[in-house]
Copies of this chain bind each other. A is one copy, B any other.
Amino acid sequence: MSAQTHLAQIGALVGDPTRANILLALMDGQARTAKELAFLARVGAPTASAHLAKLVDGGLLTAVAQGRHRYYRIASPDIGRMIEVMLGFAGTIAGSAARPLRRAGPADERMRAARTCYDHIAGRLGVAIADAMQGAGHVVLEDGAGRLTSSGHVFLLRLGVDLDEGRSGRILCRPCLDWSERRFHLAGQVGKALCNHCLRLGWVERTRDSRALAITPTGQAAFQTFFGIAACDADPQPAEHRAEATPSPVT
């Protein structure tokens, strides 16, 4: 591929208004579903699907299948920087101030704070746990498959988490894309064991008619002590700012 062809390809990808809308909607780094992006770009689902396929094919986006949803995100920080340069290429032009993007999420605030995702914890609490574990070097989240490090092994053992490590010493941990936070949380054996541990010790409690989890005062203290996590039950954003497109909670 020659240089000019390459340049034209990049330009053409960003040059379509619908694709530009999609890219801008993803510029906050979060992942979004195809339907939601179709709504944000004011376009039908088939059209959005075609555009998303082109953007993935061109290397600007990556897609992650999650149940019946497909989450799209900017492929790399480099892509984000390129778009930023294109946006502000000649300094401040017109009224191109970055308008705050609406944030999508379940209507139920309690579910956004913490909920079960099949057999593990999702929501802000789940993401916070994943962040803490990753930051401490207890887990390494690679593409599609995570790994529990030796320090993570020790950490969970001292916490009293039952890892049930009879079978398959490899796939202990799996990253799971969080629906409301649009970031990865811990699934797999580690996620399952952690969830059971939290429930058993009364750190979180199931709620009626919902997958939402209530964080108990005991849990507040425990998460702070063991993971360095502050309160997760405060909604940092008013409800009015949520997106109109609200797919049903899946993860």
Contact = CB atoms under 8 A, between A and B. Distances in A.
Interface in A138-158: none
A159 B13 CA distance: 58
A249 interface: no
Interface string A16-34: 1101110110000000000
The winner among A4, A19, A24, A59 for most chain B CB atoms within 10 A is A4
Nearest to A99: B3
B1 A23 contact: no
A20 B4 contact: yes
Interface in A1-47: 1-17, 19-21, 23-24
A65 interface: no
A33 B12 CA distance: 25
Stoichiometry, as copies per complex, reads: 2
A23 B95 CA distance: 26
A54 to B, nearest CB: 12
A87 interface: yes
Contact of A14 (B8, B17, B21): B8
A50 interface: no
Nearest to A79: B89
B79 A90 contact: yes
Contacts of A24: 3-4, 7
A21 B60 CA distance: 22
A169 to B, nearest CB: 35
A166 interface: no
Nearest to A87: B7
Contact of A78 (B7, B13, B87, B90): B90
Given A76-B90, A78-B90, A82-B89, 20 more contacts: A1-B94, A1-B96, A2-B96, A3-B24, A3-B99, A5-B20, A6-B93, A7-B20, A7-B86, A8-B16, A8-B20, A10-B11, A10-B86, A12-B12, A78-B91, A79-B89, A79-B90, A81-B85, A82-B85, A85-B86
Chain A to chain B: the 9 pairs with minimum beta-carbon distance, closest first: A11-B14, A11-B15, A12-B15, A15-B15, A8-B20, A82-B89, A8-B17, A1-B94, A7-B20
